[in-house]
Each structure stands twice: as structure tokens, then as C-alpha cells.
């Protein structure tokens, strides 16, 4: 980034350290929460992944400067994201069959 001058940068350095601190803090939170048994294990997974996604966003935005990048980079990443999500969702769904009759509620165990 050609526009960064020295003052800006030393301010940035402080931000970097602060964000690093937060990331470590959230790591503790993640570990702690994994020992709390929420109603279902799925809830635990959800919370854990949400926290991880949040941490990843911090890294992306601040450390990788995605908070002020050129539109071209955003476009590339947007498509990549769409395809990864497609990969996840479609592979996951094709393992399930939504038209499959799973029995009446409470009758089939484990659902």
C-alpha cells in the first residue's frame, strides 16, 4: 500500500498487537466452551466454528489487510468462497437424501 505513511504504520503496529491479544483471548474462550456441554454436541460445534470464523475474519481483515484491498482481490475471493461453500454444501447434501422418510418423530432413535 503506497499510501501508508510512517505515522499510520506505527499506529497499525499497535493495532496488530491488540488484535493478537484478542485472538489469544478467544482461543482460551474456544477451549473453555468446548468443555461446556450445550444441549447438543451440534450446538458446541456451531459455537466453536462461529468463534473460529470470527477469529479468521480478524486475521483476514487486519493482518491480511482485507479491510482496504482492491476490488479485484475481493472479486477473486468472492468467487472462491462461493465455490468452496458449494463444495461443502453439495457434497454434504448428496450424502443425505432430503426425500428420505426418516420415520415419525421420536420413533427412530438418534434423530
Partner 1 sequence: MEIPYTRTNRPDTGLFNAKIGIWLFLASEVMLFGGLFSSYIFLRVGADYHWPVHELTLWPGFVNTIVLIVSSVTVVMAWANLKMRKIAQYKLCMWVTIICAGVFMCLKAYEYNGKFHHIGVKLTDGTILTGHFPEEGYRVKLKGGSTVTLNLQTADPAYFLKWCVTPNPQFKTEAGQPQPLDQQGALMAFIDALVPGDHDSSSLGQLRRDAAAKDQKSVKLTATAPLEFAVKESKTFSHTATSITFRDGTVVEGASVEDKMTLQVDKVDVRSSLDEDKALAWHYLGDEWKKAFEEHSKEEAESHKKFDPRDERYLRHVKQMEIHAPTVAEHNTQHGGKHSAEAHAPGEEHAAGGHAAHYPEIVIDRKDVAFWSSFTPKWNTYYAIYFTLTGLHGMHVVAGALVLFYFLVFDGRRLKEDPEHLANRVEVGGLFWHFVDLVWIFLFPLLYLL
Partner 2 sequence: MSAATATLDHHGAHAHDHSHDHHELGFWRKYIFSTDHKVIGIQYGLSGMVFLLFGFFLMMVMRWTIAYPGEAMPGMMMLTHLPLVGEFFTGWVERWAPGGVVSPALYNMFGAMHGTIMVFFGIVPLGFAAFGNFVMPLQIGTVDMAFPRLNMMSFWFFFISGVIMFGSFLLPTGAVQTGWTMYSPLADTDQMGVKNVWMHGHTWWLLAMVFNISASLLGSVNFITTAINLRAKGLTWFRVPFFTWAMMVTSFLLLLAFPPLEVAALLQLADRVFDASFYLPTGLVDGGKHIDISGGGNPLLYQHLFWFLAHPEVYVLILPAFAIISDVLPCNARRPLWGHKLMIYAALTLAFLSFIVWAHHMYLTGMGTMMSTFFQITTVLISVPSVILLTCLMITLWGGSIRYNTQMLFATAFLPMFGIGGLTGLPLAFTFLDLFLHDTYYVIGHFHYVVAPGTIFALFAGVYHWYPKITGRCMNDFLGKLHFWPSLLFMNVIFGPMLYQGMIGFHRRWYDGGKYFEQVTSGHLWTNEVISFGAWGLALSQVPFILNVFISIKGGKKVTSDNPWGATTIEWAAPNIPPHGNFVTEPVAYRGPYEYSVPGAKSDFTPQFEADAGTPASQAAVAQAHH
CA dist., res. 31 & res. 85, Å (int)? 26
Q: What is the DSSP string of 58-93?
A: HIIIIIT-GGG--HHHHHHHHHHHHHHHHHHHHHHH
Q: Is 97 in the site for partner 2 (CB under 8 A)?
A: yes
Partner in contact with 29, chosen from partner 2, partner 1, none, beta carbon below 5 to 8 Å by kind: none
8 sits in which H/E element: helix 6-35
Minimum distance from residue 83 beta carbon to partner 2 (Å): 5
Could you say which of 36, 67, 70, 97 contacts partner 1 (CB under 8 A)?
70
Minimum distance from residue 76 beta carbon to partner 1 (Å): 5
Site residues for partner 2 per CB under 8 A: 72, 79-80, 83, 86-87, 90-91, 93-100
Amino acid at each position: 500500500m503506497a499510501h501508508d505513511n510512517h505515522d499510520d504504520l506505527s499506529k497499525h503496529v499497535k493495532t496488530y498487537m491488540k488484535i493478537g491479544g484478542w485472538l489469544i483471548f478467544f482461543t482460551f474462550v474456544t477451549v473453555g466452551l468446548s468443555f461446556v456441554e450445550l444441549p447438543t454436541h451440534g450446538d458446541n460445534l456451531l459455537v466453536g466454528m462461529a468463534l473460529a470464523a470470527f477469529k479468521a475474519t480478524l486475521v483476514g481483515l487486519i493482518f491480511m489487510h482485507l479491510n482496504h484491498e482492491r476490488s479485484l482481490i475481493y472479486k477473486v475471493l468472492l468467487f472462491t468462497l462461493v465455490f468452496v461453500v458449494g463444495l461443502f454444501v453439495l457434497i454434504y447434501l448428496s450424502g443425505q437424501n432430503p426425500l428420505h422418510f426418516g420415520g415419525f418423530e421420536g420413533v427412530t432413535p438418534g434423530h
